[in-house]
Amino acid sequence: MAKIDKNGKEWKVVALTPAGRRDHLRILKKYIEKNNLIDTWQLWLNTGDIEDIKYINEIASDKIEIKRIEGLNKQDIFSICKFFKYAQDDDTIYVRLDDDIVFIEDNAIEELLNARLENENPFVVFANIVNNAVINNIHQEIGVLGKQFGEASIERFDPVNHSNHNFVKYVHNNFIDKYRSDKLNEYFFENRILKNYEPFSINCFAFFGKDMKELPGIDEEVWISHTKPKADERPNMICGKALVVHYAFFPQRKELNKNTNLLDIYKKLWTK
């Protein structure tokens, strides 16, 4: 279903996911399937795991397209930039989602698209992402997240945000508690412009295809969150009502998988 802006123009909506981890993709797939604003979901094949590849190929459909880069046959974060050649249509808004986005609030995609259409200057518009360096800081600022396990800074690789295992478990458990008590609105905040071009973990964001004619640099995260918006004087924005949950950064993953049942909990949340 096309998204129509205030001028009556129709925009196609395409979701994008650099894809590998099937356990997470199974969760994300459920949210994509039930969202009637998303016309197509592109899975960017970025894995060498045989079982992951098998799963990705099996779920291909009229709505789910598999995109490949010739010669790429393993997980390679520095090759993701090449896939943006599939995200350049002038009539399309693209929503990029990490493959370990494990929760999408019911109105999040619509809020993100509305923020994108109503604010043309930001280069990209980020979602309100639980377990994200900059936004953990905001969540502590607004009081929805406590500081008993550390104080999060806005640095991408801040050790509290990135590798403090007690902190990340708390971030997830706090979210689940808020979900179960019907208090997710406590995470919401007014849209924010990243005036200082802060480098940002790009777990979920929306952009216009017409803005992506130049492929990102090899470090797509820095290019999208800092280099390009600063060069063009188009600071990015966070949509405070587009709530999603990012499962884990690399240093967090092993501990979360080993010592928690979080993935099982998130698998159940989408059915509620």
Q: Indicate if the pLDDT at residue 157 is higher than 60.
A: yes
Q: Indicate if the pLDDT at residue 77 is higher than 80.
A: no
> Number of helices and strands (H, E) in the chain?
10, 10
At residue 28, the pLDDT reads: 95
What are the pLDDT digits (tens) for 209-236?
999 999 998 899 999 999 999 999 999 9
What are the pLDDT digits (tens) for 160-199?
988 899 999 999 999 999 999 999 999 999 999 999 999 9
What are the pLDDT digits (tens) for 49-66?
899 999 999 999 989 999
Going by C-alpha positions, the residue among 238, 241, 248, 1 that lies closest to residue 105 is 241
At residue 249, the pLDDT reads: 82
What are the pLDDT digits (tens) for 102-119?
999 999 999 999 999 999
**Mean pLDDT score, 89-110:** 96
Residue with tokens 């129709």: 10
- Grade residue 256 by pLDDT with cuts at 50, 70 and 90: confident
**Mean pLDDT score, 12-21:** 92
**Where do the domains of the chain lie?**
3-269
At residue 163, the pLDDT reads: 83
Half-sphere exposure of 51 (CA within 13 A, CB side): 4
**Mean pLDDT score, 126-131:** 98
At residue 155, the pLDDT reads: 85
Q: Indicate if the pLDDT at residue 123 is higher than 80.
A: yes
- Grade residue 98 by pLDDT with cuts at 50, 70 and 90: very high
At residue 172, the pLDDT reads: 96
At residue 254, the pLDDT reads: 83
Ordered alpha helix ranges (H), the chain:
22-34, 50-58, 108-118, 133-141, 159-163, 165-180, 220-222, 228-232, 250-259, 262-269
**Mean pLDDT score, 23-50:** 92
Percent of the chain with pLDDT over 70: 96
- Grade residue 269 by pLDDT with cuts at 50, 70 and 90: confident
DSSP 184-231: GGGG----EE-TT------SEEEEEGGG-SSPP-SSHHHIIIIIHHHH
Contact 53, 47 (CB under 8 A): yes
Which residues, in sequence order, are bridge partners of residue 170? none
Q: What is the pTM of this model?
A: 0.94
Q: Indicate if the pLDDT at residue 272 is higher than 80.
A: no
At residue 71, the pLDDT reads: 65
Going by C-alpha positions, the residue among 79, 87, 26, 17 that lies closest to residue 51 is 26
What topology is assigned to 3-269 in CATH? Answer: Spore Coat Polysaccharide Biosynthesis Protein SpsA; Chain A (3.90.550)
